[in-house]
Each structure stands twice: as C-alpha cells, then as structure tokens.
A and B are shown apart, each in its own frame.
Chain A
C-alpha cells in the first residue's frame, strides 16, 4: 500500500541556518511521481517540485534543493540559508496509478517549519 511518512512534525531553526525536511515513501509500483508543496499561514498549497520515479537527479532551485534516493525510498528537501518567509507547513506527496484504472495521491502529514529571526 502507498504511504508517505514525514517523521518531523515540527522543526525550529534560526534564520540563515540550513534545514532538511525528510520524506520517506512506500510503494509497490515502479512508476510514480513525488511532489513537495508549501502551505504558508494563508492556507493555500503552493507547488514546489514534481519528480518522476525514473529521474533520480537531484535538483536545485535557488535556496531549495531536493535529494531523491530510490534505494532508501526518500525524497528529502533542503532549504539553504533559511529565511523567516520560509516558515510554513511543507507536504510531501506520492502519486501513482491504482488497480481500478484511476490513480491515488497520498500526502504526508506535513512538517511545520518555524524560522526565527
């Protein structure tokens, strides 16, 4: 069965520190997609990244970087030189086809990041 685990419920850092948010997933499929979303206090989920299961290249976008390792079923997210505006809840999600011809997207429980000035 699908499962997404974000073991860190809350993380608190001081501005300019680097922080890594962990995401571990379970799936039996070889074809799937992984996502990260940011949910600021306003509530709207903001899309950050999508990665398919065949692309294990790490990605960097500004201060954000993602480390995808199929061997450990992890898709971790690092924020370099964190800023107060990074304070939010971050969700990892897994999406794959299901046996009915449809598909399922499973979200982790989220990690709340506090960045203090």
Chain B
C-alpha cells in the first residue's frame, strides 16, 4: 500500500529533552512537509523539502530541525529550544514541491511534553 507513515502516534517527553518524529513515504514524492496543529487552529508550516539534501524553513521553524538524506524519509527533531512543543504534528508529501501540488498527509504524531 502506498502512503505516508508517522511514528509513533503518541509521544511523551520530559521538558528539556530533544525528540525526533519519524515520517516515511513510499509514494515516490519529491517534496515533503512538516506542519504543526494546535487545538482549534489551522496547520502551520515548520519545514519543507523539495528534494533530497535540501530543505527550507517554514513559518515556525524556530526550535525545530530536519534532515532529508533519503527521498522516503523526512524526520523532524523537536529541540529543547522549542518553547511550547506540545502539539499535533502532521507530515505530508507532494509530487512536485510546488504550489500546484496536492499534499497528502500522514496520520500524525501527538507530542506531549510533561
């Protein structure tokens, strides 16, 4: 089955710890994205990557880091510098990495920092 997988679905961490969220896709898409969703709000872009070994900051990149070493994978690290990391994180992919693309989403990871 083609799709996007995110793991884990729920993640709990202590304050001050870095944590890495996994995102894998087997759709052969060039572009991948990370969004953050807070209760009652829309999605906000953290980082995106249009091609392997390249990525761009989104609107709320501070306190986050990413890597894109493989086409299929785009892990997101939430660092201790992120002031309010508790949120729902959604990964997406798209075939072309342009504004014309449809983005397809994974099931999300709900991160809770205690």
Instruction: Tell me the A residues contacting B by CB distance below 8 Å.
Output: 4, 9, 32-33, 35, 37, 42-47, 50, 52, 91, 93, 95-97, 102-110
Contacts and interface: CB of A to CB of B under 8 A. Distances in A.
Contacts of A96: 99
Nearest to B103: A105
Given A43-B107, A44-B108, A105 B102 contact: no
B42 A91 contact: yes
B105 A95 contact: no
A38 B108 CA distance: 14
B-side interface mostly:
loop
Interface centre among B43, B45, B102, B110 (most CB of A within 10 A): B43
A9 B108 CA distance: 22
B41 A109 contact: yes
Given A50-B102, A96-B99, A105 B45 contact: yes
Nearest to A6: B42
Interface string B86-100: 001010100000111
